[in-house]
């Protein structure tokens, strides 16, 4: 199942180029009072929402339908508790980062096994349609296309062998980055610098997460083109690694790292980022 959030906090079932408005399915979510749970409510109750969507689509003849391209796409996850990200998780990107001063800025670029993971601010999360506003025009601002896994159930000390059962689904991610000397958590967390979408593809749709093509073009020119088979630390290992430090909650975002080919983007640029089976994220760059 492919599910988008669109326009005014609506929920859509994506079927090819068409979206069926299934917002009514959100009524199965429990009411929430302060303090809110640490998890994302939609993902924590995804099975119940999916059942309700199936019931609606089978039983209600006049659900509104839209063209996907006509919609304002929001982040498919509204309230992730945290955004975990993998630095330099493709060997060729490790090499380019070490060789290019404009990327490394005297920061030591170490292997992921040694430097570990980092967190991005949840306030940086946006959907495709918001576009990216360049936060620091005085700096190099780069795109990084990444496979994103959305955690589906709570877990700590998850074993790699069991890790994929903790994944609710996948989407395309852009880990937008201001280059410079500061910590990653700061440079990668301006508002809008975590772009997720175009929609959530549930995990049952993906048979082999270790063989997905990633492609990003800027103004029609290919910048990054790689495959998840070249991940240094596979998704299963990333989940084991992350959960050895943090409890993972439904709706937590895990960005798996970017391959080689990162490059600068400028206001007016048009990015299209796609991953096999996960759709295409269409994102414009705006001035600040
Ligand atoms: Mn990244």
CA dist 93 → 65, 112, 191 (Å): 42, 12, 25
**Closest Cα to residue 232, out of 84, 85, 86, 83?**
86
How confident is the model over 114-173, as pLDDT tens digits?
Answer: 999 999 999 999 999 999 999 999 999 999 999 999 999 999 999 999 999 999 999 999
Q: Which residue has the higher pLDDT, 106 or 41?
A: 41
Distance 145 CA to ligand 1 centre (A): 7
In the chain, the domains with their CATH numbers are 2-70 (no CATH), 83-286 (3.90.850.10)
Residue 144 to residue 147: CA distance in whole angstroms: 10
Here the tokens at position 53 are 């969507």
**Closest Cα to residue 250, out of 27, 40, 86, 105?**
40
Confidence of residue 222 (pLDDT cuts 50, 70, 90): very high
Residue 108: its pLDDT value, please?
A: 78
Total residue length of the chain: 288
Residue 60 pLDDT exceeds 90 = no
Distance 29 CA to ligand 1 centre (A): 33
Residue 165 to residue 88: CA distance in whole angstroms: 25
Residue 106: its pLDDT value, please?
A: 83
Distance 242 CA to ligand 1 centre (A): 15
Confidence of residue 233 (pLDDT cuts 50, 70, 90): very high
pTM: 0.97
Spell 153-166 as b/e; 16+ CB within 10 A means b.
Answer: bbbeebeeeebbeb
């Amino acid at each position: 199942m492919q599910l988008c959030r669109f326009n005014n906090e609506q929920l859509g079932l994506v079927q090819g180029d068409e979206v069926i408005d299934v917002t009514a399915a959100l009524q199965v979510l429990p009411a929430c009072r302060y303090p809110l749970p640490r998890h994302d409510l939609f993902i924590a109750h995804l099975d119940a929402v999916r059942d309700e969507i199936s019931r609606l689509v089978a039983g209600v003849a006049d659900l509104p339908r839209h063209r996907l391209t006509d919609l304002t796409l929001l982040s498919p996850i509204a309230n992730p508790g945290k955004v975990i990200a993998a630095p330099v998780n493709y060997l060729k990107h490790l090499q380019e980062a070490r060789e290019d001063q404009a990327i490394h800025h005297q920061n030591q670029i170490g292997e992921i096994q040694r430097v570990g993971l980092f967190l991005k601010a949840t306030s940086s999360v946006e959907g495709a349609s918001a576009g990216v506003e360049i936060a620091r025009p005085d700096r190099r601002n780069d795109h990084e296309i990444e496979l994103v896994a959305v955690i589906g159930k709570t877990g700590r000390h998850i074993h790699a062998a069991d890790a994929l059962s903790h994944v609710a689904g996948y989407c395309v991610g852009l880990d937008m980055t201001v280059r410079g000397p500061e910590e990653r958590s700061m440079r990668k967390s301006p508002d809008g610098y975590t772009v997720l979408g175009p929609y959530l593809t549930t995990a049952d749709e993906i048979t082999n997460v270790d063989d997905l093509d990633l492609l990003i073009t800027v103004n029609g020119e290919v910048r990054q083109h790689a495959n998840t088979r070249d991940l240094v630390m596979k998704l299963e290992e990333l989940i084991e690694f992350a959960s050895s430090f943090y409890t993972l909650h439904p709706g937590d975002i895990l960005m798996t790292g970017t391959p080689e080919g990162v490059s600068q983007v400028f206001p007016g640029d048009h990015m299209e980022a796609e991953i096999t089976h996960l759709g295409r994220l269409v994102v414009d760059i705006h001035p600040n």
